[in-house]
Amino acid sequence: MAKKEVDVVVIGGGPGGYVCAIRLGQLKQKVICVEKDEVGGVCLNWGCVPSKALISASHNYEKAKDSAHMGLIADNVRVDVAKMQEWKSGIVKKLTGGIRGLFRGNGVELVMGNARVTSPTSVEVTLKDGTVDTIVAKNVVIATGSSTIEIPTFKFDGKQIIGAKEAVSLQEVPKRMLVIGGGVIGLELGCVYQKFGSEIVVVEATAGLLPGVDADITAVVEKKLVKHGAKIMKNAKAAGYEKNADGSVTVKIDVGGGKIESVVTDVVLVAVGMRPNGAGLGLEEIGVKVERGFVPTDKVGRTNVPTVWAIGDVSGVPMLAHKASKEGEVAAEVMAGHRAEKDWVAIPGAIFTDPEVAVVGLTETQAEEKGMNVKIGKFPFAALGRAMAVNETDGFFKVVSDAESHKVLGVHIVGPSATDLISEGALALEMHAFLEDIGLTIHPHPTLGEGMMEASMHGLGHAIHVLNR
Ligand code: NAI
């Protein structure tokens, strides 16, 4: 049983934990990061990164098949799933290898094992070979992330009843896929398999897809899914399933009013959310507050026990990699004696459906609910030459601003490259920008970014390439 002494031990090597550890290393702190699976966490290993690889492959496949109107004829375009998976795994390997390299370069020690907190300043790690190490640290950071929620009546079997982890590693394209949960994961992966040819059914418990996103925005995504043959069942709950003799699965869906509908499918993807991994780490035993699996913190990331910190999914919503990384940096700065705080104006969200969705700040409805008088500027992608040239014209920009001061309150984009374009909106909010700041900035032509300028000008009543009210 080895004993190590450090300034900080970080439990979890996902986008929260690894960023925190690297920043601590940069700030000359002696730091150990403990990881039980693979550095990079859910995000790099089976979440954000692998899913985006498959999403981009599915777009390329669709474009290769459907570009005859541009004069591009590609016959017999096929999907080689094994090759695609190999390519995807190569990306993951490069990125996780990169983190290990950054750890080495910044003096971060990586310990592979399962950690448990034994006091406000010590952690026990069960290593892969079963031996137990003790790490004594001035500060302990909990960065254990979140896990997929399972529905009791749909226990994962790894083949036909699956979660996102299995869905990014399927070895063949299913003929039919039923997705339970019309949230981020369900729609991103639903879009992927729809492009590869699966017939998609989405079963969503609430009245709308993508909870929390502006309804005008989700309508664009829903329309495209349906146009390509998806069946969207809203206010519906999957109640149970039976396996059939031919290998298919019949899913019973409670559509309300005492009615049950049956859908026959090949694969059921369960994507009903993630739950925080705050329990079972020994935290309650040492007096750290854990609420429904979350570990609450203050503005710098400290829990109610001053030497214990929490960052990322385990510390609260939204469960997003970039929020985790930022919290990791803030906590690292403070632990190293600098001033920092979780003082951002807004956290952008990026959803890789087709078309993409990206949001930052208040929606029109949220602003109105706060009693604000808002001005809306809108601009369609269809009015941008560049959008026509890239053959993706669905969607629009929507800039929500204060009607009197013109201060930008929120930016909501659905359309091509929305996830890249949103950073301008995030910067606008952080800089407390006004419509004039965006609208009077020269945006290069011909680019998709012109839509931000035009939507802001539309809010001011003088967009050029669309009629103003
Ligand atoms: P989610 O919370 O986005 O969506 C879950 C959906 O399932 C909701 O619409 C909910 O109403 C529905 N639902 C819940 N129980 C149901 C039931 N029994 N039957 C039918 N529908 C039901 O969760 P999701 O998609 O699993 O994603 C998990 C987390 O991962 C999210 O917190 C998200 O922030 C994060 N994520 C973010 C991504 C991104 O930013 N691009 C990509 C993937 C995940």
Query: Counting beta carbons within 10 angstroms of the beta carbon of residue 139, is it exposed (0 to 12), middle (13 to 18) or buried (19 or more)?
Result: buried
Distance between Cα 184 and ligand 1 center (Å): 5
pLDDT at 144: 98
**Residues enclosing ligand 1, CB less than 6 A?**
151, 180-186, 188, 203-206, 211, 237-238, 271-274, 318-320, 349-352
In whole angstroms, give the CA distance from residue 93 to residue 1: 31
Whether domain 161-272 has CATH 3.50.50.60: the reply is: yes
DSSP of 359-392: EEE--HHHHHHTT--EEEEEEEGGG-HHHHHTT-
User: Alpha carbon 194 to chain centroid distance?
Assistant: 20
Distance between Cα 54 and ligand 1 center (Å): 19
The dihedrals phi and psi of 242, each to the nearest 5 degrees, come to -130, 145
Closest-lying ligand 1 atom to the alpha carbon of residue 187: 25
The DSSP H or E segment spanning 318 is: none
How many residues in the chain? 469
pLDDT at 135: 98
- The dihedral region occupied by 312, where left means phi > 0, alpha psi between -120 and 50, and beta the remainder, is left
Sketch the domain layout of the chain as residue ranges.
3-148+275-335, 161-272, 349-460
Closest CA to 393 of 222, 231, 225, 220: 220
| pTM for the predicted model, two decimal places | 0.97
Helices 48-65, 184-195: crossing angle, 10 deg rounding: 30
The dihedrals phi and psi of 180, each to the nearest 5 degrees, come to -95, 115
The residue whose CA has the least distance to atom 28 of ligand 1 is: 273
Closest CA to 450 of 371, 348, 359, 381: 381
Question: What type of residue sits at position 44?
Answer: L
469, 376 contact by CB (below 8 A): no
What is the CATH code for 3-148+275-335? 3.50.50.60
In whole angstroms, give the CA distance from residue 398 to residue 365: 13
pLDDT at 1: 76
445 is catalytic: yes
Closest-lying ligand 1 atom to the alpha carbon of residue 210: 9
Domain 3-148+275-335 and domain 161-272, same fold? Reply is: yes
Distance between Cα 452 and ligand 1 center (Å): 28
pLDDT tens digits for range 319-372: 999 999 999 999 999 999 999 999 999 999 999 999 999 999 999 999 999 999
Closest CA to 456 of 441, 444, 467: 441
Whether domain 349-460 has CATH 3.20.20.210: the reply is: no
pLDDT at 395: 98
Beta bridge partners of 112: 35
Using 50 as the pLDDT threshold, list the residues of the chain that sit under it. none
- Selected catalytic residue, list 445, 458, 462, 465: 445
Any idea which residue has 């930008």 for tokens?
A: 408
pLDDT at 469: 80
Closest-lying ligand 1 atom to the alpha carbon of residue 211: 9
Closest-lying ligand 1 atom to the alpha carbon of residue 48: 42
